[in-house]
């Protein structure tokens, strides 16, 4: 780690106030506080299944045989394991789209959360992975897991603003946002990814976005924004901001049908948060979409 990179201060050293790397806004301070205090069982209990702690949703068909009988006393445990399997399948799909990655390469996870995708990326490619988050508690958690796994010399999270990272220009092989781009301005975000990526490097995002064909964000999308204190963008905004920042899409995949089973299963679990209905209804009425976009830096 270079001396320009930022590590997470302990909560005690923060004196109760979040550390917000520059450039920052009052809104980013709110987001830092939000994720510092977040401890939803739906994130932690799923991660407890195998030690991969994600902050995103799942894709794929439900393995009904693995779930078994819903009246069985162990059913809830199997349901949680199945939700987590779908989460990791989503991360695997993102990694599938990063393109060729060598052991000596560096990857960047913008909005890394508790670090599950970083661990998976290192395990697959053997390369270095740098993660950034506004949350000191998330960075501490991710780095603790990396130490426990003995990969902390390759995998590192830091408290850092994804719009102004300390990473060198043109040295990153691939980078991604996994359900974190709705917290920032897309032109600013893609300008930073374009800066750190090599020419020919790959950027991937998986995100929820409102469907321009619907006309405006629906009431369900507004509920999701309020729940997560975010600002969901339209699919059109993603493509326009990429074009403005030398990122040329190579794949745009609608994952909405693949994510709906995850939400329908989660709605039957003990881990409901109250937002499941908004996701299910918005996916079904077409006002909200779950998409993967992979783009090359030119």
The one-digit pLDDT tens for each residue of the chain (298 residues) are: 333 333 333 333 334 455 666 657 889 889 999 999 888 888 899 999 999 999 999 999 999 999 999 999 999 999 999 999 999 999 999 999 999 999 999 999 999 999 999 999 999 999 999 999 999 999 999 999 999 999 999 999 999 999 999 999 999 999 999 999 999 999 999 999 999 999 999 999 999 999 999 999 999 999 999 999 999 999 999 999 999 999 999 999 999 999 999 999 999 999 999 999 999 999 999 999 999 999 999 9
Q: Which domains does the chain have, with CATH numbers?
A: 26-297 (3.40.50.150)
The strands making up 155-159's β-sheet, listed across from edge to edge, are 155-159, 128-133, 106-110, 172-178, 197-210, 288-297, 247-254
Catalogue the long-range contacts made by 98-105 (C-beta closer than 8 Å, 24 or more residues apart). 98/173, 98/174, 98/176, 98/202, 98/204, 99/174, 99/202, 101/125, 101/127, 101/173, 101/174, 102/127, 102/173, 103/127, 105/173, 105/174
Closest C-alpha among 184, 172, 278 to residue 222: 278
pLDDT at 17: 54
DSSP 21: P
Residues β-bridged to residue 208: 290
Contact 204, 91 (CB under 8 A): no
Residues 6+ apart with CB under 8 A from 139: 7, 8, 112, 131, 133, 157, 158, 159
Nearest to 295 by CA among 243, 256, 255, 258: 243
Would the pTM of this model clear 0.75, i.e. be above it? Answer: yes
pLDDT at 19: 61
Tokens 């393109």 map to which residue?
99
The pair of structure tokens assigned to 140 is 């501490």
Compute and round to an integer the Cα radius of gyration of the chain: 18
pLDDT of residue 22: 63
Beta bridge mates, 136? none
List alpha helices for 150-252, DSSP H: 186-196, 219-228, 235-244
């Amino acid at each position: 780690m270079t001396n320009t990179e930022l590590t997470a201060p302990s909560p005690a050293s923060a004196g109760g106030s979040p550390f917000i790397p520059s450039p920052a806004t009052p809104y980013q301070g709110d987001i830092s506080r939000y994720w510092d205090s977040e401890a939803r069982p739906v994130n932690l209990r799923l991660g407890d299944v195998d030690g991969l702690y994600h902050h995103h949703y799942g894709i794929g068909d439900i393995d009904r045989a693995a779930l078994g009988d819903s009246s069985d006393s162990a059913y809830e445990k199997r349901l949680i394991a199945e939700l987590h399997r779908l989460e990791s399948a989503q991360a695997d799909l993102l990694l599938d789209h990063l393109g060729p990655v060598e052991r000596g390469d560096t990857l960047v996870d913008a909005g890394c959360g508790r670090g599950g995708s970083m661990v998976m990326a290192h395990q697959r490619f053997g390369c270095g992975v740098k993660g950034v988050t506004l949350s000191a508690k998330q960075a501490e958690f991710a780095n603790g897991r990396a130490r426990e796994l003995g990969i902390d010399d390759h995998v590192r999270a830091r408290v850092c603003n994804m719009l102004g990272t300390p990473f060198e220009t043109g040295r990153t092989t691939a980078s991604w946002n996994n359900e974190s781009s709705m917290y920032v301005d897309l032109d600013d975000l893609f300008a930073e990814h374009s800066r750190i990526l090599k020419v020919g490097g790959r950027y991937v995002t998986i995100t929820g976005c409102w469907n321009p064909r619907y006309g405006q964000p629906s009431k369900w999308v507004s509920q999701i924004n309020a729940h997560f204190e975010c600002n969901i963008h339209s699919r059109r905004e993603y493509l326009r901001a990429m074009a403005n920042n030398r990122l040329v899409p190579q794949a745009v995949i609608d994952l909405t049908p693949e994510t709906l089973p995850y939400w329908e299963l989660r709605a039957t679990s003990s881990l409901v948060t109250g937002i499941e209905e908004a996701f299910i209804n918005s996916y079904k009425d077409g006002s909200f979409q779950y998409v993967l976009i992979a783009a090359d830096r030119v």
